[in-house]
Amino acid sequence: MHEIESLIFLLAAAALLAQLARVLKVPYPILLVLGGLVMGFVPGLPNIEIPPEVIFVAFLPPLLNSAAFSSSPLDLRAQLRPIVLLAVGLVLATMGAVAVIAHALIGLPWAAAFVLGAILAPTDPVAAEAIFGRLGVPERVGTVVSGESLVNDGTGLVAFRVAVAAVVSGAFSVWEAGLSFLLVGGGGLLVGLIFARIVLPLWARLREPTVVITFSVLIPYAVYILAEEVLHVSGILAVVTYGLYQGWNSPRLFPNASTRLQTIAFWGVLVFLLEALLFVLLGQQLPSILADIEEYPVWVVLLYAALVYAAVVVVRFAWFFTTPYFHPVFDRLLHSRYLRAPWQERLVMSWSGMRGAVSLAAALAVPLSTDAGDPFPGRDLIVFLTFSVILATLVLQGLTLGPLIAALRLRGEGEADKLAELRARLDAARVALDKLERLGDDGRVSPESQERMREYYEGNIQRYTAGLEAGGTTEEYADSSAAWRDWRRELLAAEREVVLSLRDEGKISPVVMRRIERDLDLQEARLGG
Q: pLDDT tens digits, the chain, 529 residues: what are they?
A: 567 788 888 888 888 888 888 888 787 888 888 888 888 888 777 777 777 777 788 888 998 888 888 877 777 777 777 788 888 889 999 999 999 999 999 989 888 899 999 999 988 776 766 666 566 667 778 788 888 888 887 788 888 888 888 788 766 566 666 777 788 888 999 999 999 999 999 988 888 889 999 999 999 999 999 999 999 888 888 999 999 899 888 877 877 777 888 888 899 889 888 888 888 888 888 887 887 777 788 888 899 999 999 999 999 999 988 876 665 555 555 555 545 678 888 888 888 888 887 888 888 888 878 777 788 888 889 989 998 999 899 888 888 888 888 888 776 555 556 677 778 888 888 888 888 888 888 778 788 888 888 887 888 888 788 777 776 554 555 555 667 677 778 888 888 888 888 888 888 888 888 888 888 887 777 676 5
Predicted TM-score (pTM) of the model is 0.78
Count the domains in the chain: 2
Q: Using the 3D structure, point to which of 429, 456, 473 is the last residue of a domain.
A: 473
Q: Are 50 and 15 in the same domain? A: yes
Q: At what angle do helices 139-169 and 235-249 cross, to 10 degrees?
A: 160
Q: Are 397 and 249 in the same domain? A: yes
Q: Are 427 and 352 in the same domain? A: no
Three state DSSP letters for 363-381? HHCCCCECCCCCECCCHHH
Q: Using the 3D structure, point to which of 434, 454, 473 is the last residue of a domain.
A: 473
- CA 2 remoteness from chain centre: 31
Q: Are 384 and 399 in the same domain? A: yes
Q: What's the alpha-carbon Rg for the chain, to the nearest Å?
A: 26
Task: Indicate the residue type of 305.
Answer: A
DSSP-assigned beta bridge partners for residue 375? 369
Does residue 419 fall inside a structural domain?
yes
Q: Are 32 and 102 in the same domain? A: yes
Q: Where are the beta strands (DSSP E) in 20-158?
A: none
Task: Count Cβ atoms below 10 Å from residue 340 Cβ, excluding itself.
Answer: 15
Q: Are 373 and 450 in the same domain? A: no
Does residue 492 fall inside a structural domain?
no
Does residue 105 fall inside a structural domain?
yes
Residue 506 is given by DSSP the state: T
Backbone angles phi, psi at 292, to 5 degrees: -85, -10
Say what the pLDDT of residue 514 is: 83
Does residue 494 fall inside a structural domain?
no
CATH number at residue 356: 1.20.1530.20
Say what the pLDDT of residue 253 is: 81
Does residue 185 fall inside a structural domain?
yes
Does residue 513 fall inside a structural domain?
no
Does residue 186 fall inside a structural domain?
yes
Q: Are 365 and 424 in the same domain? A: no
Q: Using the 3D structure, point to which of 361, 377, 407 is the last residue of a domain.
A: 407
Task: Count Cβ atoms below 10 Å from residue 128 Cβ, excluding itself.
Answer: 23
Task: Count Cβ atoms below 10 Å from residue 240 Cβ, excluding itself.
Answer: 29
Q: What angle do CA 458, 460, 464 make, to 5 degrees?
A: 120
Q: What angle do CA 27, 28, 29 make, to 5 degrees?
A: 95
Does residue 160 fall inside a structural domain?
yes
Say what the pLDDT of residue 93 is: 92
Q: Are 70 and 91 in the same domain? A: yes
Q: Are 461 and 367 in the same domain? A: no
Closest by CA position to 122, among listed 233, 34, 247, 236: 236
Phi-psi region of 409 (alpha: psi -120 to 50; beta: other; left: phi over 0): left
Q: Are 173 and 128 in the same domain? A: yes
Sign (positive/negative) of CA torsion 40, 41, 44, 49? Answer: positive
Domain range spanning residue 457? 413-473
DSSP-assigned beta bridge partners for residue 369? 375
Q: Are 453 and 374 in the same domain? A: no
Q: Are 449 and 336 in the same domain? A: no
